[in-house]
Amino acid sequence: MRILIITGEISGDLYGALLVKRIREINPSFHFVGIGGPKIRGTEAEILFSAESLSLIGIPKPSDIRKYYFIYRKIEELLRKRKVDLVLLIDFPGFNLKIAKLAKTLNYPVIYYVAPQVWAWHRNRINIIKKCVDLLLVILPFEEKFFKDYGINVKYHGHPLLDVIKPYLSREMFFEIYRLDQNKPLVSFFPGSREGEVERHLPLFLKVFEDLKRRNPSFQGIMVKAPGLKDSALWERANKILFVIENNQYDVLKYSDVALLASGTITLEAALLRTPAVVTYTLPRWLYFLARHLVKVPYISLPNLILGKEIYPEILQDKSTPQELSLALERMARSRDKILVDLNEVTRHLGGPGATWRIAEEVLRFAQNLKK
């Protein structure tokens, strides 16, 4: 069986790669073709287009629209030639829901893995999912009931992050490799995984660290540069103020006393590693104004959404001044023991390990039924 797989985000690329590997371990005859990032490219999937070139925030430029249209047409050509048997879409709703509609008009079975966050905004997308998606695989516990209430065929098997979040270094080795002092507090910074996010957050995060150091010189800082981000003067400046590393985010989170996070999947990774954190996010003013009127949830970070209360302080947009953020980081570092109870509860809500295996078996059952 040939499966069209499409994702356009770093997290979706990770989940997709894990799923491709698990499916092929169970049944090596499955072949995957489509759009993916570095993780999916590392499997035996046949990649037609790079996922990185499709990832963006905000209004696309004319060049982006032309690129999207070109790729869409190539996918349409592949589908019309009946080159695949099943369509597997992972997150990335702006593009993937259009592909779901196209696939359904051509009578393809469609699986959607990692649901669009329609419980937060874009409720109109529920109708597209109901009409065009045959099986919806969700990774957050509250999503199953939400989509079932709309009559959608939905399954929840836990969260795949539980299978991949594993620090590789011992505490002693981590501090030795990065020349840090185990006896001094460590604050880590994660400014985002997209270029636009980094441009907005990185200068702010550096000011936060400088403010922290003014009040408490014992603080050490480390910043993680996400995979695929380009070198720039911003990163050079950051490296003069604190330690900048690429990848290895799980070790950094595990051994940080507190972290400052640009909202995203990283907030859940921090929670699963029991790391106290403060969450922030900034957008261009017009986009933030629009988001305030469209987003219908009380929190933006996943741990807070899962438990329905503020575990991680969220300091957003104009409130995210260096002083406000540095004070919040100090408070979180001091309350580490108190927050661990809530962080353990987040893990409990996400089910046990093995989610990707269970999801792979669900996909294979679905595929098997197509042959009957």
* pLDDT tens string 344-369: 999 999 988 999 999 999 999 999 99
For the residues 95-99, what does the mean pLDDT come to? Answer: 95
Q: What is the pLDDT of residues 125-145, one digit of tens each?
A: 999 999 999 999 999 999 999
Residue 164 lies in a domain: no
Within a domain: 165? no
197 vs 339: CA distance, rounded Å:
27
CB atoms within 10 A of CB 303: 26
Is residue 40, in this structure, part of any structural domain at all? Answer: yes
The confidence band for 119, taking pLDDT boundaries of 50, 70 and 90, is confident
Residue 273 lies in a domain: yes
Work out the number of other CB atoms within 10 angstroms of the CB of residue 254: 19
Q: pLDDT grade, residue 372 (50/70/90)?
A: low
166 assigned to some structural domain: no
| Whether residues 178 and 308 fall in one domain | yes
- In the chain, pLDDT over 90 holds for what percent of residues? 78
Same structural domain, 59 and 175:
no
Q: Is the pLDDT of residue 4 over 80?
A: yes
Hey, what are 312's tokens? 């991680």
Q: Where residue 185 falls among pLDDT bands split at 50, 70, 90?
A: very high
In terms of domains, do 189 and 213 share one?
yes
Do 23 and 150 reside in the same domain of the chain? yes
The pLDDT-based confidence of 60 (bands split at 50, 70, 90) is low
Please tell me whether residue 361 adopts helix, strand or coil conformation: helix
- Helix extents (H) in 274-321: 285-294, 302-307
Structure tokens at 180: 């840090």
The pLDDT score that the predictor gives to residue 137 is 98
- In total, how many domains does the chain have? 2
Rounded CA-CA distance 67/82 in Å is 23
CATH number for the domain harbouring residue 211: 3.40.50.2000
pLDDT at position 296: 76
Model's pTM, two decimal places? 0.88
Residues in the chain: 372
- The answer as to whether 129 is a domain residue is yes
For residue range 276-317, list pLDDT tens digits in order: 999 999 988 776 777 776 777 889 999 999 999 999 999 998
pLDDT (mean) for 232-258: 94
Q: In terms of residue numbers, what domain contains 76?
A: 2-159+352-370
- Per-residue confidence (pLDDT) for residue 59, from 0 to 100: 59
| Res 57: pLDDT | 52
From first CA to last CA, the distance across the chain in angstroms is 14
Does residue 123 or residue 32 have the better pLDDT?
32
Q: 11 pLDDT band (50/70/90 cuts)?
A: confident
How high does pLDDT run on average in the chain? Answer: 92
pLDDT at 58 over 60: no
Task: Single out the residue of 368, 372, 361, 371 nearest to residue 26, CA to CA.
Answer: 361
